[in-house]
């Protein structure tokens, strides 16, 4: 009896999680700028985590330097693209 109840609960949870949304048109679609802002925050979080883990002794100096350089380059590219898109959005339109 317990197995049957667990099975029904698992099937119910499966359908609840994976059942497709009926109003696909009502879902918000992200703009490139929103995506980049989220990506920037993820990169900053990753840099903070990397610094913390390095200070706690989990990374050797060489690995830390390489990983940090990669994350900083990607963050710089992301910030540059955000600034470009924001400057284009606020630039006066000439017709």
Statement: residue 95 has pLDDT above 60: no
**Structural domain spans, the chain:** 30-90
Q: Three-state SS string across the chain, please?
A: CHHHHHHHHHHHHHHHHHCCCCCHHHCCCCCHHHHHHHHHHHHHHHHHHHHHHHHCCCCCHHHHHHHHHHHHHHHHHHHHHHHHHHHHHHCCCCC
Model confidence over 30-85: pLDDT tens digits?
A: 899 999 999 999 999 999 999 999 999 999 999 999 999 999 999 999 999 999 99
Statement: residue 92 has pLDDT above 70: no
pLDDT of residue 94: 59
Statement: residue 90 has pLDDT above 80: no
pLDDT of residue 27: 65
């Amino acid at each position: 009896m317990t197995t049957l109840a667990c099975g029904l609960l698992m099937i119910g949870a499966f359908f609840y999680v994976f059942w497709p949304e009926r109003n696909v048109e009502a879902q918000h679609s992200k703009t490139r700028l929103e995506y980049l802002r989220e990506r920037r925050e993820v990169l900053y979080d990753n840099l903070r985590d990397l610094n913390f883990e390095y200070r706690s002794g989990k990374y050797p100096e060489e690995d830390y330097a390489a990983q940090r350089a990669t994350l900083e380059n990607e963050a710089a590219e992301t910030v540059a693209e955000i600034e470009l898109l924001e400057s284009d959005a606020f630039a006066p339109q000439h017709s």
